[in-house]
């Protein structure tokens, strides 16, 4: 991989990791938070940003989140040691294909997305042999968007799932693992397929449910939404998330989601059956089981 990834004596950092130039593709909430975290931990010399809106890149530069910004992908990734995909997953492959011939030899490419699956293998194929892709997913998402709420400590204490494959470069994997550990994340590794099974159930399915609970109340009577209390707002908070982002995630993980939705619909039908039968005992057992499982989440 080369000595460019080693800390020089005059460049303080942790765990012997220093990246001369990092390119963040997509300077939104997560991308901006990662840029701030890299700067706070002094893990890189310069950060360039790529995005679709010049005004956002200018604001990010004015706030010190990035050092330079460009609407030109090739300019943004020029001479970058690390390139981070922080854009909607639906444009990953198209973007990777566009930049393939312009990457620095030996560059490491990673992401912060909620989908891995076949994307990891396709990204590896698109970027090889000159660059190395390592999939990563920091579990620190939010319904927030944009750079104004970016947080340098967003990842501290949270999990980061890394999804290596048999083709993964050991050096590249070490770089990505060290980076996230230095930012305070708790590293776990999964296969890309296992990742999508897990997060289809605990992340992607809940987003669909949150969106559709709001739509259901609208179908019943939209006026009722005026009376929504804190419980409804807590339950549907993630329905504030970017529709564009979650459209791409759900389509990409549709096989798992179709199976998960079948199970969820079956549970709703079971509850409906309890209500039809006025079976208070069974209904309470359903609720009690869920309450106990939910209470255990604080121990994870």
Fold agreement between 3-190 and 194-299: no
What one-character DSSP code corresponds to residue 189?
A: E
Whole-Å CA distances, 280 to 128, 271, 273, 283? 59, 10, 11, 5
Please check the confidence at residue 179 and state whether its pLDDT lies above 60: yes
pLDDT at 142 (0 to 100): 65
For residues 235 and 4, which has the higher predicted lDDT (pLDDT)? Answer: 235
Residue 169's beta-bridge partner residues? none
The band of 146, judged by pLDDT with boundaries at 50, 70 and 90, is: confident
Q: Where are the domains of the chain?
A: 3-190, 194-299
Residue 11 has pLDDT above 70, yes or no: no
* 212-240 mean pLDDT: 97
Q: How much is the average pLDDT of 255-268?
A: 98
How many CA atoms, within 13 angstroms, populate the side-chain half-sphere of residue 57? 20
For the ranges 184-188, 242-246, 290-294, the lowest mean pLDDT is seen at 242-246
Q: What is the CATH number of domain 194-299?
A: 1.10.3660.10
* pLDDT at 7 > cutoff 90: no
Residue 9: pLDDT over 70: no
The answer, yes or no, to whether residue 206 has pLDDT greater than 90, is yes
Say yes or no to pLDDT of 89 above 60: yes
How many angstroms separate the Cα of 183 from the Cα of each of 17, 155, 271? 12, 6, 44
pLDDT at 141: 67
Phi and psi at 11, nearest 5°, equal -120, 90
Mean pLDDT of 37-57: 95
Q: Residues 188-196: what's their mean pLDDT?
A: 98
DSSP H helices in the chain? 29-40, 54-62, 73-77, 92-99, 117-127, 170-182, 192-199, 205-221, 230-235, 243-252, 254-276, 280-295
Q: Residues 37-48: what's their mean pLDDT?
A: 96
What's the confidence (pLDDT) of residue 253? 97
Q: Does position 144 have pLDDT exceeding 90, yes or no?
A: no
Q: Can you give the pTM of this predicted structure?
A: 0.89
Q: What is the pLDDT of residue 143?
A: 63
Helix (H) or strand (E) holding 161: strand 159-163
pLDDT at 16: 77
Number of H helices, E strands in the chain: 12, 8
Reported confidence tier of residue 12, pLDDT bands at 50, 70, 90: very low
Per-chain mean pLDDT for the chain: 92
Nearest residue to 17 via CA among 135, 155, 156, 178: 178
Helix axes 254-276, 205-221, angle to 10 degrees: 50
d(CA 151, CA 182): 15
Between CA 135 and CA 54 the distance in angstroms is 28
Q: Which residue has the higher pLDDT, 11 or 133?
A: 133
- Hey, how many other C-beta atoms are within 10 angstroms of the C-beta on 40? 11
Tokens 């809940």: give the residue. Answer: 206
pLDDT (0 to 100) of residue 61: 95
Among 95-99, 137-141, 161-165, 248-252, where is mean pLDDT lowest? 137-141
CATH level 2 (architecture), domain 3-190: 3-Layer(aba) Sandwich (3.40)
């Amino acid at each position: 991989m080369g000595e460019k990834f080693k800390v020089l004596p005059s460049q303080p950092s942790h765990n012997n990791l220093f990246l001369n130039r990092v390119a963040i593709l997509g300077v939104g909430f997560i991308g901006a938070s990662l840029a701030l975290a890299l700067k706070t931990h002094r893990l890189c010399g310069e950060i360039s940003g790529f995005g679709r809106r010049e005004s956002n890149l200018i604001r990010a530069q004015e706030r010190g989140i990035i050092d330079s910004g460009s609407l030109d992908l090739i300019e943004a990734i020029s001479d970058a040691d690390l390139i981070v995909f922080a854009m909607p997953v639906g444009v990953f492959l198209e973007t990777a294909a566009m930049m393939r011939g312009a990457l620095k030899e030996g560059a490491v490419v990673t992401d912060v997305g909620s989908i891995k699956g076949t994307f990891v293998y396709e990204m590896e194929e698109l970027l090889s042999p000159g660059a190395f892709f390592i999939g990563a997913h920091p579990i620190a998402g939010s319904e927030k968007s944009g750079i104004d709420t970016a947080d340098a400590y967003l990842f501290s204490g949270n999990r980061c799932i890394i999804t290596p494959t048999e083709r993964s470069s050991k050096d590249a994997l070490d770089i990505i693992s060290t980076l996230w550990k230095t930012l305070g994340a708790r590293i776990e590794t999964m296969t890309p397929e296992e990742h999508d099974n897990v997060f289809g159930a605990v992340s992607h399915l809940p987003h669909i449910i949150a969106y559709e609970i709001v739509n259901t109340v609208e179908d019943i009577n939209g006026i009722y939404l005026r009376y929504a209390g804190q419980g409804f707002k807590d339950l549907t908070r993630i329905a504030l998330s970017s529709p564009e982002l979650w459209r791409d995630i759900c389509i990409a993980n549709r096989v798992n989601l179709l199976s998960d939705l079948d199970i969820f619909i079956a549970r709703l039908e079971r509850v409906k059956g309890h209500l039809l039968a006025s079976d208070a005992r069974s209904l309470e057992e359903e609720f009690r089981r869920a309450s106990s499982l939910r209470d255990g989440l604080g121990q994870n």
